[in-house]
Amino acid sequence: MIDFANGKVRVNKNRQKITFENADINPAIARPYFGNPEIADIVILKKQPENDFKTYGDELPETDAIEFRKRILLDIQGKLTFEGEKRFLPYIDRHRWFVKYLYSNASTLRHFNIDPNRLMVINFFPYQTGHSAGIPRDFLSFKYNLPSQCMNFELLIKMLKDDKERIYIVSEEELYISIFKNFAENEICEYLIDQLFVLSSKQNRHLTMCNVLSYKEHRRRLKKKLELSKTEYYKWNQAQKIARENGDSDFHRKMNDMRYEISHQN
């Protein structure tokens, strides 16, 4: 699982073969996942998880960056535990992307007082897909299977089958569902879709009440966009945003139920 995460995988110059090399951990490479799948209640499915160091710019001293990388590698290897338990490292180490997008003052986690250690970020495509990463978009096809890709998929299937109720949040929902359907049984696909929530805005990655829709709400919004004029749709969409901010949404109800369940588990 850590082959790509620790920088030991690259694509050759002809972009035809995946090769391995000995290299130090590279912070520009996507991580397989953060968090503990056994206790996670909220799972964020990402095509390109936020770069751990990107939001720091030049502010992060080299010694701190090295320490971050070491702890990330140990976490990926399963060697970094806290009181014998794997936890959500971006919360423990206060990674800036986590604080900015998932744990701001307006975040859902703070609103419902959810322990961030019950959060998980999993990389559905365990490789970068942009041109800057040097990997062609062809690698989003079914022809290539990296070890980390297979293991991440197997982990996700186990989570979907373990009877623990979770919230799954995704930004690239259509791409995710279309690919997932090619590998999973119909029953599991339908279960995931029933538990699936999507980000309202592709440009806004903040986990807030206003920015998360259930997949059903998302489909309804797409339908309204086709049915209404631009002016009518704008008014309708603004009314929906206000309703979500006031707690009238599937996500709010789901989170409220989850907070109740978690409080009774503790």
Least confident of 9-13, 66-70, 144-148, 192-196: 9-13
Q: Is residue 229 part of a domain?
A: no
Q: Which residues contact 13 (CB under 8 A, 6 or more apart)?
A: none
100-136: burial string, b at 16+ Cβ within 10 Å, e else: ebbbeeebbbebeebebbbbbbbbbbbbbbeeeeebe
Q: Is the pLDDT of residue 1 over 60?
A: no
Q: How confident is the model at residue 57 (pLDDT cuts 50, 70, 90)?
A: low
For residues 53 and 234, the model is more confident at 234
Residues in the chain: 266
Q: What is the mean pLDDT of residues 64-72?
A: 79
Instruction: Supply the mean pLDDT for the chain.
Output: 76
Number of domains in the chain: 1
pLDDT at residue 174 above 90? no
Residue 62 lies in a domain: yes
The answer to whether residue 240 is domain-embedded is: no
Q: Is residue 196 in some structural domain? A: yes
Q: Is residue 239 part of a domain?
A: no
Mean pLDDT of 43-69: 68
- Taking a C-beta distance cutoff of 8 angstroms, is the pair 50, 97 a contact? yes
Average pLDDT over residues 137-146: 50
Residue 38 belongs to domain spanning: 9-215
65 domain residue, yes or no = yes
Ranked by mean pLDDT, the top range of 1-5, 61-65, 135-139, 198-202 is 198-202
Share of the chain above pLDDT 70, in %: 70
Is residue 260 in a domain? no
Which DSSP state fits 82?
B
With a threshold of 0.85, does the pTM exceed it? no
pLDDT of residue 119: 93
Asked if residue 232 is part of any domain, the answer here is: no
- Is the pLDDT score of 53 beyond 90? no
